[in-house]
């Protein structure tokens, strides 16, 4: 009889413990999904429903990634998310934290997710979608500097690089140039190394070279190849700047 009582009590305790575990797991999943929905709703209010769905799912996918130690971590928008980084930089451990439709405001909301990693080098390429939203260059550059400062604190052993906004259609180039000028100027404070990739991708008028893009904004295979040639040494072994 006593043995049966002990078995009953043990079974009850085990069931209670498992219930707590599943409850906590469910709460974590809900919290992650809720955070993703909040970010996508607040930062991408003007985009279609499928865009917000993509952002929410992408944030959850990134949450499930195992953190890396060493290698290179890339942060950005769709230009980063859809980059074939493993083939662009063979032999380098890569973590791709690009989020399509991403903005510099959205980046600030997901830095904790990024900071779980311990890479050798971090590369930030963000801001072109902000221009679509008519955000001023000061706002974009200020957010990127804030992100860099935060990551410098959370990843003290990592080299931190900010890539210039890529060339795009001609009508947006004044905003691109103004933002890049601020990013270059603020690199002098020492939070990051500024990498200007404009010459590797630009047509004579300064816009994105036609053979490197699918739509005047996003890169095609040739565009990513040009970007990898420009950045390769920095990704592989680090650098102080790109030759101009």
Please state the pTM of the whole predicted model: 0.83
- Domain span(s) for CATH 3.40.50.1110 in the chain: 69-237
Q: Report CA torsion sign: 229, 233, 234, 240.
A: negative
Any idea which residue has 């706002």 for tokens? 139
Question: Is the CATH number of domain 69-237 3.40.50.1110?
Answer: yes
How much is the pLDDT for 55? 86
Helix, strand, coil shares, percent, the chain, to 5: 60, 10, 30
How much is the pLDDT for 133? 87
The span from the CA of 56 to the CA of 153, in Å, is 27
Report the candidate in 144, 176, 138 with the shortest Cα–Cα distance to residue 160. Answer: 144
- Supply 40's token pair: 């996508």
How much is the pLDDT for 240? 85
Write out the chain's pLDDT in tens, 244 residues.
Answer: 545 445 444 444 444 443 433 333 433 333 555 566 566 555 555 667 777 888 889 999 999 999 999 999 999 999 999 999 999 999 999 999 999 989 999 899 899 999 999 999 999 999 999 998 899 999 999 999 999 999 999 999 999 999 999 999 999 999 999 999 999 999 988 789 999 999 999 999 999 999 999 999 999 999 999 999 999 999 999 998 776 6
Q: Mention every residue, 6+ apart, whose C-beta is less than 8 A from residue 131.
A: 140, 165, 168, 172, 175, 176, 179
How much is the pLDDT for 191? 85
């Amino acid at each position: 009889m006593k043995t049966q009582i002990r078995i009953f009590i043990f079974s009850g305790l085990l069931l209670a413990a498992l219930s707590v575990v599943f409850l906590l797991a469910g709460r974590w999943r809900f919290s992650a999904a809720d955070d993703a929905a909040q970010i996508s709703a607040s930062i991408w209010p003007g985009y279609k429903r499928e865009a917000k769905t993509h952002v929410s799912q992408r944030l959850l996918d990134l949450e499930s990634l195992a953190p890396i130690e060493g290698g290179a971590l890339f942060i950005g928008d769709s230009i980063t998310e859809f980059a074939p980084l493993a083939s662009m930089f063979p032999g380098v451990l890569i973590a791709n934290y690009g989020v399509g439709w991403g903005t510099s405001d959205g980046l600030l909301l997901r830095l904790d997710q990024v900071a779980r990693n311990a890479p050798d080098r971090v590369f930030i390429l963000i801001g072109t979608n902000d221009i679509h939203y008519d955000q001023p260059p000061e706002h974009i550059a200020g957010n990127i500097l804030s992100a860099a400062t935060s990551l410098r604190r959370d990843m003290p052993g990592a080299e931190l690089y900010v890539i210039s906004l890529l060339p795009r259609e001609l009508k947006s180039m004044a905003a691109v140039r103004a933002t890049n000028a601020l990013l270059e100027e603020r690199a002098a404070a020492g939070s990051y190394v500024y990498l200007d990739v404009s010459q590797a991708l630009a047509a004579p008028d300064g816009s994105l070279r036609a053979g490197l893009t699918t739509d005047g904004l996003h890169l095609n295979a040739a565009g990513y190849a040009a970007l990898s040639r420009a950045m390769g040494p920095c990704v592989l072994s680090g650098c102080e700047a790109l030759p101009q």
